[in-house]
Structure formats: structure tokens, C-alpha cells
Amino acid sequence: MTMAEATALLADVPGWELLDFGRKLRRTFTFHNFMLAQSFAVETGNLCESENHHPDISYGWGYCTVVFYTHKIGGLHRNDFVMAARVNALRMP
């Protein structure tokens, strides 16, 4: 999709930002310790495995960063935004 299309879709995924000129989608979530960050990483990873759409996940003390992009098109697909919204939902109370 174009950068303009990606920017428009951002409104549907609060907290996410575009990287690499619209080729990737990233959000960092914060936590109060290491284990909460790891648990969120795993919850995110398990969700994505079930959809066979794998993100890059980074975590450490107090944070977990998730990056989506679609390898086979070298950029973003609508499905990346669907997954980002589902990851946001994991974080909701």
C-alpha cells in the first residue's frame, strides 16, 4: 500500500507508528517489570503464530516492542493493521 493509505489506517491502531517510510508498523508497550513484558511478548507471539503472521518482538525490563510487516511484499498489507489491532486488544483490561 502507499504511504498515504498506511497513514490513513493508523487511525485504527492507536499507539502504532510507521517505520521505514511506511514499510513497517511498530508499537512499544510498557510494563512494571521484566516478566510482565515477557508474558505480553508470548501472548502476542502465540496470537501471531495462530494467524501465521509473525512479527519481530523485542523485550526487556519494562518494555515490549512489536513490529509487523509483510515479508512477501516487503512492506505493509492490510493484514498487518488487523494484527496490530488484535495486539492492542490483548493489552486492554
Are 67 and 25 within 8 A, CB to CB?
Answer: yes
38 binds a second copy (CB under 8 A): yes
Instruction: Please state the closest distance from residue 78 (CB atom) to a second copy, in A.
Output: 20
Query: Shortest gap between Cβ of 75 and a second copy (angstroms)?
Result: 17
Cell, residue 43: 501472548
Give whichever of 30 and 46 is closer to a second copy, judged by the CB atom.
46
35 near a second copy, judged by CB under 8 A: yes
Number of residues that bind a second copy (CB under 8 A): 17
- Is 41 a binding residue for a second copy by CB under 8 A? The answer is yes
Q: What is the DSSP string of 9-78?
A: HGGGSTT-EEEGGGTEEEEEEE-SSHHHHHHHHHHHHHHHHHHT---EEEEETTEEEEEE-BGGGTB--H
Residue numbers at the binding site for a second copy (CB under 8 A): 34-35, 38, 41-42, 45-46, 48-49, 54-61
